[in-house]
Structure 1
Amino acid sequence: MFTEIFLPELMGTAVLLLLGGGVVANVLLARTSGGGGGPLMINLGWGLAVFAGVYVAYRSGAHINPAVTVGLVASGDDLGGDTALKVPVYVSAQLLGAFVGACLAWLVYRDQLDHPDSDAEDKLAVFATGPQIARTSSNLLTEVVATFVLVFVIIAFGRTPSGLGPLAVALLVVSIGASLGGPTGYAINPARDLGPRVAHFVLPIAGKRDSNWSYSWIPVVGPTIGGILGGLVAAAANYV
């Protein structure tokens, strides 16, 4: 399973977080060429990061997201057999890949992250999501709904002969970011948030704030619930 699942998922998720974290750093941090690019630039950057990550992880089915993995299982997909063994392999590779990708983004933007003109909140935002208004019920619901859309529509893509593949998923992520990303920053991926949050915690970043662990469970639990619901509804609606 190492070359079939673990390595592709690790590399795909690392590319996702390198490019996704990179666009956030480029827009938010001081002394970059992309300063002031705004939310749309971040949404497009994350969509293209997904596009690249999916291509890199094609051999494993390109989940690069634990919510997608559990959502597919909830829909009745047995992942080619040995489901109970494969799910932990997928998830562990995704978490490690996200951590590695975040560390690579840190290497690229190390000077900007350490610069005194870069705000501590923006430094954390390069690695992890956070709410604009901290309210547990609303924040959790936002992540559930956004991830439900992600997983349900990904499964629906499988029933259409569009041939768009990774581009369709990339455009879906851009749409979710532009439409539903405002309240929480749309983690929609437990690995995308947890792995980089750990990286923020351990990396020697000058002037950083705490890693906001009190919020960290929401972008893990919310997307997991949303992914499972997306898979269940897709199966009930005969999209699988």
Structure 2
Amino acid sequence: MLGLSQDIFRRTGKFYGGYFIFPWFVVGIMATCYRLTGAHLNPVITVANIIRRDKPAGFSSLLALLYIPAQYAGCWGGVALTWWFTRDPGQLTIQRKTGQDNFWYSEAVGMEFAASFMFVLVYLSQSGRFTWTAPETGLQALIIGASYGSLVAWSSRRTGGSLNPAYGFGQNFWDQMDEGAKESFQFIWIYTAIPFLGMVLALAIHMLVHVPGNQHAKEKAVE
């Protein structure tokens, strides 16, 4: 569902208000499965949850490993459905500099890194029992979903709008199957590797700053 809605958003964002609508789609998707699975929907989030020390209650690292192929299959199928609906598989590429034959590589990498970092940090803070804004799962899903949708919209001008290795791979795969153009896999490393680098920084800040700081604040409040 996320792969399908993200693909539709990317095609309509500039013309039909998709930049505003997409975050609310994500909130709805997150709320639907947040209580049951934690609403990972993204391999980066799954890996972050496996590594983090403040794991959510009932979290199983072994079960989480099964989420990753499901995430890839979901995004792969979502893009395939959009191709079937529109007869166009779409394309995920970074922006080309106006009047030049080169691309915004450094800007795209920087935006994908920064947006992924911010999203993972929000997810970790809102799903952690020491750092969440409130224990209500509905509010957590709202904050996480709106953050993801907004950051995809923010980064879409330079990167095309991904932040999800499963979606980035699915979109590039179907573009390759359709036309086999050089650009189909030219930028796939940005979409599949850079989000994990953003995750590493987010994990470090969460575990070294957020969790100890909030634990200390709660201990002081009890005294």
Q: Where on the TM-score scale, by shorter chain, does this alignment land: which range? A: 0.7 to 0.9
Q: Quote how far apart the aligned CAs of 1:62 are.
A: 0.7
Q: How does 1:1-240 map to 2 (within 5 A)?
A: 15-26=1-12, 36-37=15-16, 41-58=17-34, 59-77=36-54, 80=58, 83=61, 85-110=62-87, 113=88, 124-125=90-91, 128-133=92-97, 134-158=103-127, 159-161=132-134, 163=136, 164-203=139-178, 209-239=181-211
Counterpart of 1:119 in structure 2 is none
Counterpart of 1:11 in structure 2 is none
Number of residues paired by the alignment?
Answer: 199
Flag the structure with larger Rg: 2
TM-score, normalisation: structure 2: 0.75
Cα-to-partner distance string for 1:90-134 (whole Å, 9 max, x where unaligned): 211111110011111222222xx3xxxxxxxxx633xx3533452
Q: Which runs of no fewer than 5 residues in structure 2 stay unpaired? A: 98-102, 213-223
Counterpart of 1:31 in structure 2 is none
Identity %: 23
Q: Which runs of no fewer than 5 residues in structure 1 stay unpaired? A: 1-14, 29-35, 114-122
Residues 55, 67 of structure 1: CA spacing in aligned structure 2 closer, same or farther, 3 A cutoff? Answer: same
Residues 161, 82 of structure 1: CA spacing in aligned structure 2 closer, same or farther, 3 A cutoff? Answer: closer
Counterpart of 2:221 in structure 1 is none
CA RMSD for the aligned pairs? 2.7
Residues 60, 162 of structure 1: CA spacing in aligned structure 2 closer, same or farther, 3 A cutoff? Answer: closer
Question: Quick one: distance in 2 between partners of 1:104 and 1:124?
Answer: 11
Q: Quote how far apart the aligned CAs of 1:189 are.
A: 1.0
The structure where helix makes up a greater share of residues is 2
TM-score, normalisation: structure 1: 0.71
Counterpart of 2:219 in structure 1 is none
Amino acid across the alignment from 1:140: V
Question: Quick one: distance in 1 between partners of 2:164 and 2:10?
Answer: 16
Residues 237, 144 of structure 1: CA spacing in aligned structure 2 closer, same or farther, 3 A cutoff? Answer: same
